[in-house]
Amino acid sequence: MSLRSPLGEALGHGAAKDGVHHWRVQRLTAVALLPLASWFAVSLLAMPAHGYAAVAAWVGEPWTAVLLLLFVVTAAWHSQLGVRVVIEDYVHGRAMRTVLLALSGYLHVLAAAAGVFAVLRVALGGAA
């Protein structure tokens, strides 16, 4: 039982002076993903063959590699922002929320790093 006043509860610890950056970047990455994701899907569908050599040659083209890198990083960033909101919405235990938010951050960085490495390796001819 708490004898704290309802207004005290409502005011809480005040405003965290945060949220605008999240909101802005979430929208900016969404707008960037529209052309990037469309380009990625259309390019895959338009490819004559989907064998390793054909795809590796496509990834090796300079603009393809650059756009793929942007796509991987932007998608991971956007996903991280979205998953963060889901965790904040539904996980109410403070310790559990802190752990999950950190874990989600690490996993997204891992996914982005793996994606970037894969694109670079294929594009720069490291794997034959």
Partner 1 sequence: MAEFRLPANSRIRTGVTHEAPPGAREVRKLRIYRFDPSSGQNPRLDTFELDVADCGPMVLDALIRIKASVDSSLTFRRSCREGICGSCAMNIDGVNRLACTTSLHDLGREIRIYPLPHMPVVKDLVADLTQFYAQYASVKPWLQAQTPPPPDSERLQSKEEQERIDRPAACILCACCSTACPSYWWNSDRYLGPAALLAAYRWIIDSRDEASGERLDALEDPFKLYRCHTIMNCTDVCPKDLNPAKAIAEIKKMLVQRQS
Binding site for partner 1 (CB under 8 A): 5-7, 9-12, 14-20, 22-24, 85, 88-93
Smallest separation, CB 102 to partner 1 (Å): 16
Smallest separation, CB 9 to partner 1 (Å): 6
Smallest separation, CB 47 to partner 1 (Å): 37
Whichever of 17 and 50 has its CB closer to partner 1, that residue is 17
Whichever of 61 and 88 has its CB closer to partner 1, that residue is 88
DSSP letters, 37-56, are: HHHHHHHHHH-S--SHHHHH
Whichever of 46 and 89 has its CB closer to partner 1, that residue is 89
Q: How many CA atoms lie within 13 A of 47 on its CB side?
A: 17
Q: Are 87 and 100 within 8 A, CB to CB?
A: yes
Whichever of 20 and 128 has its CB closer to partner 1, that residue is 20
Taking the CA atoms of the chain, what radius of gyration do you get in angstroms?
21
Smallest separation, CB 16 to partner 1 (Å): 5
Q: Are 33 and 74 within 8 A, CB to CB?
A: yes
Tokens of 89: 């919405």
Classified as helix, coil or strand, 64 is helix
